[in-house]
Amino acid sequence: MSSEKEEDSRTIRLSRRRFLGVSTAAAIGGIVAGVIVGAVGGYLAGQSTAQTTTVTQTKTVTQAAQTLTTTVTQPTTITVTQTVTTTATPTPPKLTRVIIAWPFEIVTLHPYKFSRNIPSESPMDAIYDRFLSQDINLKIQPGVIEKYEWMNPEKTRIDFTIRRGIKFHDGTELTAEDVAFSFSEMKKGAYAATWGNMDVIEVASPTLVKVTLKKYDPSLIAWLTFLDAFVVPKEYWEKVGPDEFSKKPIGSGPYKVKSYKPGLLELTAFEDYWRGPPAIKEVVFKEVLDPRSRAVEVEAGTSDFTIAVDVADFDRLAALTHLTGKKAFITDVAILMIPTYYPETGDENVRLAMHYAIDKEALVRDVLLGFGRPVSTTEAPGYMAYDPDYVFPYDPKKAKELLAKSGYSTDNPVKITAATLKGNIPRDYEVMQAIVAMWKKVGIEASLEVITLAQHFELRNTGKMKHVHLYPWSNATGDPVNSVGYSQWPNSPFSTWRGLKAANLTDYSGLMEEATDIIAPVFTEKDEEVRIAKAKEAAKWVVEHGLVIPLYQLATPYLMKKEIIYEPWPQGFVRPYYMKA
Amino acid sequence: MPITSHYLVKRAIYMLLSVFGVSIIGFALFRLLPGDPVELMVGPGYFAKEEMAALRARLGLDQPIYIQYFIWLRDFLSGNFGRSFRFDLNVLDLIIERLPATLELIIFSVIIALIIGVSIGVISAVRPGSWADRISQTTSFVGFAIPHFLWGIIFVVVFSAALRILPASGRLDMDIEVNKITGFMLIDTLLQGNVSAFTNALTHIILPGLALSMGLIAMIHRTLRSSMLDVLNEDYIFTDRMKGLNERYIIYVRALKNALMPVITIVGIQFTFLLGGSILVEKIYGWPGLGNLVFTAVQYQDLSLVQGIIMIYAVIVVLTNFAVDLIYTLVNPKVEFK
């Protein structure tokens, strides 16, 4: 009896304990869930509010480089600012440090190692000076080189006058010796083939460097404004060697290196910078490689500035009260590369039908959410050979007619394979999916393959490309040498023709020789006006023969704290020197 | 003596053979992948064919693959992991610099998983069918079903963007300086007696650590629940109860010790999976560890770096498995390895 009672009482006791335990757990769980739901609810509500908030779009006035002689309006930038009614709140302290959530890995500070895309050069651009600079309209402006002069009619001899009064971060003066030394080091670097054209480099005086070229290169001056065209101090470089130099670099740019460790580059203002001291005194490039994390960084305020967030996040973030969003067109054009070593794409009717069938406006509007603008040639607005009057129309009816001429229809479609990278540029895969759908309507049945960047190079070089490759083409110089030139010229190592030649394949278009002749003046013509006119012709010619399908110029989303005043550069550089707060 | 010297020698040979095998597979795999690393290396540098060929020869990429392997093996055995052509740095230096961050993240997530997984596993087993059991079973199902990187994004959105209570990236606030001793931020801050830096480092590791541990929590919970239910029905537990031993002692000491055996196996196996899972989690949280390095190395076909990381991962995996075996003997001295 007594044992049964004990059993009963224990059961009751356990039940009470259990009840209390479950109740407590439920209460704690409820509170935690409530907090999370509340927070997420608030977050989503914030999103919803943001989406319905009145957004004013204003074209901003350009903040031009301080030493440039011309002040120009940048037409390619749209600033999205939210109109808010502010109550009397204390003025926030002026920003002297800007933390940039950076989408690229900073692998080295060595100025001449590795190829890189334009925005990823930005940290280098803050530390080192370039020989020449470009303004916000891609026009070349003086830099370390104050003046250049061609010294013979063949344009193979050029004199560079070096600006006086420029100091390196260690206080030593920049001279012609440093410029000549930098040229020599560049010849050993990632762009050796470009700089290798400098045959003889001679220091004539502390402010004069004379260079003899192996052959005329119309884009030499443009090259001096980008890629690895940086000036280094000869004495320090030789004293410490390149390995030590890349750990503790010294340049003559607006910022000195404060510290550099994996994932984090801290810079501090160089007060003796020749263009004047930077307004922002401390800059941090903080690697945040994931676009969602970058969005969170600026949203939560742990970073002050970022680029390349997902375009779908842009409107919501730009409408937040503490952020400004800017959409800036950059010097990258998405193109469809079409090799002519397949019978299908060797047929001009098919190539042109592919182009006529693409509704670029719809691509930009619906897939890229406005982060792009259609182009008709490889030359985008701002490029030297851009022709605003030339428009290649969207005409699906004509596409059908052309396909019919070659015996194809929606019932008997031409079958091709289209390749794209995924995530190389925003929404590339989705763009290609949309194009495949557009083609289907006119009688082109394309199967879609995703490839890597390494595969793209390999397939292009070996003549094994698919019928079509979606690929972005950068041209920060704006020079046609880098757009219609290297992308389309049959002698270029980067065109589709390279693989055709390497594998000795049949050119079903029969256009290779003609293309060679038509594009050649872009590389060889010495009269600049004539060269640009010929480049415009060449850019139209390759499009009208369907050898390339230019799709759209890319735009990049910028997000920054409201206090920051910054106008994006068309090349895609992030230049803290031009930030103000 | 649960482990004999004969066993140790045999095990060492197996471990060496495993690492050797991995080195061959890894080496062949990345060299047979389509894509030209030299082209990626020079990018749009406009190198002439001859210069590309010279560069390829300098990197030894013009040799047959087996010759390349033997050259690499010779260098590796002499401690030379090669030079990363993406970073232009010694591969071993790069790995040593970043490995502690990854190991710290993984060990932290294993600790979190053990604390949470074991706790809810015991509760579930002791009260099967209860609300607590049902909730923890559902939660662990969700934890298991959602991949690491997605947890990472969810946590960032909730705790960093919406609640703003935990940082979204990095290992430490930028203004805090900590001298590197072990490379493990939590340990270094404690060794230097810097409590605020320790707290700061802790707030930074919580989200990536939790994101990485979610799957493991679920596995530990389910495994422990199942093994604990079996153990609680064993005769010796019945005997303990008959002896009138304290119920808590029976559960947490007598039963848990034996029920933990499969958990140790799970943790051992999952440790290696966490190495893989850390790649995306590190990317999301800007964690400067090996994961980010793997990403870059594979993307740019940085062959020396890829191979170096593969070797380090292989060594970690075999050592972890060995450590798991040792822990078996500690937890249960009846286990013998001969």
pLDDT digits (tens, 9 = 90+) for B291-304: 878 888 887 778 88
Q: Rounded to whole angstroms, what are the CA distances from A330 to A229, A242, A307, A475? A: 20, 32, 12, 9
Structure tokens at B36: 């030209």
Please indicate, yes or no, whether residues B235 and B119 belong to a single structural domain of this protein: yes
pLDDT for res A81? 39
pLDDT for res B48? 62
Q: Which chain A positions have a beta carbon within 8 Å of B98's beta carbon?
A: 262
Which DSSP helix (H) or strand (E) runs through A420? strand A414-420
H-type helices in A279-388, by residue range? 291-300, 311-318, 343-346, 348-356, 360-362
Please indicate, yes or no, whether residues B292 and B306 belong to a single structural domain of this protein: no
Query: Is B225 a domain residue?
Result: yes
pLDDT for res B86? 79
Report whether A365 contacts A531 (CB < 8 A). Answer: no
Are B42 and A115 a contacting pair at CB < 8 A? yes
A528 to chain B, minimum CA–CA distance in Å? Answer: 23
Please indicate, yes or no, whether residues B200 and B265 belong to a single structural domain of this protein: yes
Q: Map residue B181 onto helix, strand or coil.
A: coil
Query: Is B15 a domain residue?
Result: yes
pLDDT for res A349? 97
Please indicate, yes or no, whether residues B71 and B57 belong to a single structural domain of this protein: yes
Q: Please give the domain boundaries of chain A with CATH numbers for all domains.
A: 98-322+562-578 (3.40.190.10), 330-555 (3.10.105.10)
Q: Map residue B204 onto helix, strand or coil.
A: helix
Measuring CA to CA, which residue among A571, A472, A485 is closest to residue A218?
A: A485
Give the model's confidence band at B46: pLDDT under 50 very low, under 70 low, under 90 confident, else very high.
Answer: low
Q: Map residue A504 onto helix, strand or coil.
A: coil
pLDDT for res A17? 54
pLDDT top residue among B23 and B60 = B23
| Distance of alpha carbon A575 from alpha carbon A48, whole angstroms | 33
Structure tokens at B83: 């030079």
pLDDT for res A350? 98
Are B39 and A35 a contacting pair at CB < 8 A? no
Query: Is B94 a domain residue?
Result: no
Please indicate, yes or no, whether residues B148 and B288 belong to a single structural domain of this protein: yes
**Is pLDDT at B172 greater than 60 in this prediction?**
yes
Query: Is B93 a domain residue?
Result: no
Evaluated on CA atoms A74, A80, A86, A88, the torsion sign reads negative
Tell how far CA B332 is from the center of its chain. Answer: 25
In this complex, is the C-beta atom of B169 within 8 Å of any C-beta atom belonging to chain A? yes
Please indicate, yes or no, whether residues B252 and B309 belong to a single structural domain of this protein: no
Report whether B27 contacts B69 (CB < 8 A). Answer: yes
| Distance of alpha carbon A129 from alpha carbon A229, whole angstroms | 8
pLDDT for res A547? 97
Please indicate, yes or no, whether residues B228 and B307 belong to a single structural domain of this protein: no
Q: Rounded to whole angstroms, what are the CA distances from A37 to A22, A293, A465, B159, B211? A: 21, 21, 50, 12, 19
Q: Rounded to whole angstroms, what are the CA distances from A391 to A308, A335, A360, A394? A: 29, 15, 12, 9
Structure tokens at A313: 């996040």
- Which of B131, B157, B283 has its CB closest to that of A289? B283
Q: Which chain A positions have a beta carbon within 8 Å of B131's beta carbon?
A: 22, 25-26
| Distance of alpha carbon A500 from alpha carbon A505, whole angstroms | 5
pLDDT digits (tens, 9 = 90+) for B122-160: 999 998 888 888 988 888 888 888 998 899 999 998 999
Which DSSP helix (H) or strand (E) runs through B297? helix B290-299
| Distance of alpha carbon A175 from alpha carbon A153, whole angstroms | 28
- In a mutational test of the B interface, the residue from A3, A10, A48, A105 whose CB has the highest number of chain B CBs within 10 Å is A105
| Distance of alpha carbon A109 from alpha carbon A123, whole angstroms | 8
| Distance of alpha carbon A210 from alpha carbon A176, whole angstroms | 10
pLDDT top residue among A143 and B286 = A143
Measuring CA to CA, which residue among A263, A239, A228, A230 is closest to residue A106?
A: A263
Report whether A125 contacts A116 (CB < 8 A). Answer: no
Query: Is B91 a domain residue?
Result: no
Domain with residue B277: its CATH number is 1.10.3720.10
| Distance of alpha carbon A555 from alpha carbon A292, whole angstroms | 18
Please indicate, yes or no, whether residues B210 and B234 belong to a single structural domain of this protein: yes
DSSP symbol at A159: E
| pLDDT by 10-residue block (mean), chain A, 581 residues | 44 49 53 48 40 33 33 40 42 79 89 75 94 90 96 95 97 97 90 87 97 92 89 96 91 96 91 96 92 90 93 92 94 96 97 98 95 96 94 97 97 97 89 97 96 84 93 90 92 89 94 96 93 97 97 96 94 93 87
Are A107 and B39 a contacting pair at CB < 8 A? no
Please indicate, yes or no, whether residues B230 and B257 belong to a single structural domain of this protein: yes
- Give the bridge partners for B89, in sequence order: B84
pLDDT for res A118? 74
pLDDT for res A90? 54
Give the model's confidence band at B328: pLDDT under 50 very low, under 70 low, under 90 confident, else very high.
Answer: confident
B7 to chain A, minimum CA–CA distance in Å? Answer: 41
Report whether A147 contacts A208 (CB < 8 A). Answer: no
Strand ranges of the sheet holding A198-205, from the earlier edge strand across to the other edge: A145-150, A157-162, A208-213, A198-205
Q: How many domains does chain B have?
A: 2
pLDDT digits (tens, 9 = 90+) for B86-122: 787 889 999 999 999 999 999 999 999 999 999 999 9
Query: Is B38 a domain residue?
Result: yes
pLDDT for res A38? 46
- Which of B37, B44, B161 has its CB closest to that of A300? B161
Query: Is B92 a domain residue?
Result: no
Query: Is B71 a domain residue?
Result: yes
By residue range, what is the domain housing residue B8?
A: 1-86+301-338
pLDDT for res A261? 84
In this complex, is the C-beta atom of B5 within 8 Å of any C-beta atom belonging to chain A? no
Asked if ipTM goes beyond 0.85, one says no
Query: Mind giving me the DSSP string for A357-405?
Result: T--HHHIIIIISTTSEEE-SSSPPTTSTT--TT--PPP-HHHHHHHHHH
Please indicate, yes or no, whether residues B74 and B148 belong to a single structural domain of this protein: no
- Across the range B6-21, mean pLDDT stands at 90
Please indicate, yes or no, whether residues B144 and B222 belong to a single structural domain of this protein: yes
Evaluated on CA atoms B66, B68, B70, B76, the torsion sign reads negative
pLDDT for res A71? 33
Please indicate, yes or no, whether residues B60 and B131 belong to a single structural domain of this protein: no
By CB neighbour count within 10 A (0-12 exposed, 13-18 middle, 19+ buried), where does A34 fall? exposed
pLDDT for res A91? 56
Report whether A198 contacts A211 (CB < 8 A). Answer: yes
pLDDT for res A117? 67
pLDDT for res B40? 66
**Is pLDDT at B221 greater than 80 in this prediction?**
yes
